[in-house]
């Protein structure tokens, strides 16, 4: 009687193109720069149904493109966006993707007495992608360096609600007929010191802020009387 040697080899498993059902949703930390009025679109919506990742059974896109939010490494949003666009192009998957956006707004700043317009990220650590979700596009996005995951629930990506998309795109849109808003860090009641001009080294309390013109009204004690003085906001500092 010959010994039977069991065959310990196992056939190579095909790659499973699906999102694991038991994979926990990525933990997101609330960013201090996220505006409160947006009802936290990054946490997913209870009304948005998680999307099942389906196979690509034909040669053309199936369904309509939807907007998704991607959690990415902070301070690398622009380079990660470019990397994702390159991968989409190299893989010949342009038909599945639309825009990839890093939401920004224009802010006017004064530095050393000079005025400049800069772009500031609205939501650091996030980018938006307009795409049709299937197994191939899901893996392409997930395998791009710097991208953590889609936001969603139960470990599955959830598309954004139309009203949240409209809010984000409206904020990110550059409106040439409107002057960029000024970045003024002071608020009424702050104690400040004047660094330049006639009242240099005077200290006082902020009474009002004119963001449109970049001026701050400061209450100064002049000859023993409290007097309001308008100062360029870049000429003062907090004390």
- pLDDT exceeds 50 at position 115: yes
- pLDDT exceeds 70 at position 81: yes
- pLDDT exceeds 80 at position 57: no
Question: Which of 182, 204, 221 is the last residue before a domain boundary?
Answer: 182
Do 133 and 220 reside in the same domain of the chain?
no
State which of 3-7, 46-50, 67-71 shows the largest mean pLDDT. 67-71
pLDDT given for residue 24 in this prediction: 45
What is the percentage of the chain residues whose pLDDT exceeds 90?
Answer: 32
Residue 228 lies in a domain: yes
Do 132 and 233 reside in the same domain of the chain?
no
Do 164 and 49 reside in the same domain of the chain?
yes
- pLDDT exceeds 80 at position 126: yes
Do 90 and 163 reside in the same domain of the chain?
yes
Residue 7 lies in a domain: no
User: 139-192: per-residue pLDDT in tens?
Assistant: 999 999 999 989 876 667 889 888 888 877 776 654 444 555 667 788 889 999
Domain of 216 in residue numbering reads as 191-238
Do 114 and 167 reside in the same domain of the chain?
yes
Comparing 37 with 102, the larger pLDDT belongs to 102
CATH code for the domain of 197: 2.30.30.30
Q: What mean pLDDT do residues 33-60 have?
A: 46
Question: Which of 154, 182, 210 is the last residue before a domain boundary?
Answer: 182
Q: How many domains does the chain have?
A: 2
For every residue of the chain, DSSP letters joined together read -PPP------PPPPP--S--TTPPPPP-PPPTTS-GGG--GGG--TTSPPPP-----SSS--S--EEEEEEE-TT-HHHHHHHHHHHHHHTT-GGGEEEEE--EEEEEEEETTEEEEEEEESSTTEEEEEE---HHHHHHHHTSTTEEEE-EETTEE-PPPHHHHHHHHHHHS--TTSPPEE-----TT-EEEE-SSTTTT-EEEEEEEETTTTEEEEEEEETTEEEEEEEEGGGEEE-
Question: pTM of this prediction?
Answer: 0.53
- pLDDT exceeds 60 at position 40: no
State which of 7-21, 67-81, 115-129, 143-157 shows the largest mean pLDDT. 67-81
Comparing 139 with 115, the larger pLDDT belongs to 139
Residue 115 lies in a domain: yes
Do 134 and 198 reside in the same domain of the chain?
no
* pLDDT band at residue 70 under the 50/70/90 scheme: very high
pLDDT given for residue 104 in this prediction: 86
CA atoms of 90 and 144, how far apart (whole Å): 12
Do 207 and 94 reside in the same domain of the chain?
no
């Amino acid at each position: 009687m010959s010994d039977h040697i069991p065959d310990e080899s196992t056939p190579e498993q095909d790659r499973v193109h699906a999102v694991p059902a038991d994979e926990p949703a990525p933990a997101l930390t609330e960013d201090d720069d996220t505006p409160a009025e947006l009802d936290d679109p990054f946490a997913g919506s209870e009304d948005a149904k998680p999307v099942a990742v389906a196979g690509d059974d034909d040669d053309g896109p199936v369904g309509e493109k939807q907007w998704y939010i991607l959690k990415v490494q902070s301070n690398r949003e622009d380079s990660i966006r470019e990397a994702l666009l390159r991968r989409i192009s190299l893989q010949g998957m342009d038909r599945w993707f639309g825009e990839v956006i890093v939401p920004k707004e224009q802010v006017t700043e004064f530095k050393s007495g000079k005025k400049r317009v800069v772009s500031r990220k609205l939501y650091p650590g996030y980018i938006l992608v307009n795409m049709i979700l299937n197994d191939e596009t899901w893996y392409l996005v997930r395998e791009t360096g710097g991208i953590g995951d889609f936001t969603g629930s139960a470990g599955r990506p959830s598309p954004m609600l139309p009203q949240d998309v409209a809010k984000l795109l409206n904020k990110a849109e550059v409106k040439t007929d409107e002057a960029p808003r000024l970045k003024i860090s002071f608020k009424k009641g702050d104690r400040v010191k004047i660094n330049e001009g006639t009242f240099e080294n005077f200290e006082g309390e902020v009474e009002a802020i004119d963001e449109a013109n970049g001026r701050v009204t400061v209450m100064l004690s002049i000859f023993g009387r409290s007097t309001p003085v308008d100062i360029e906001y870049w000429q003062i500092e907090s004390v």
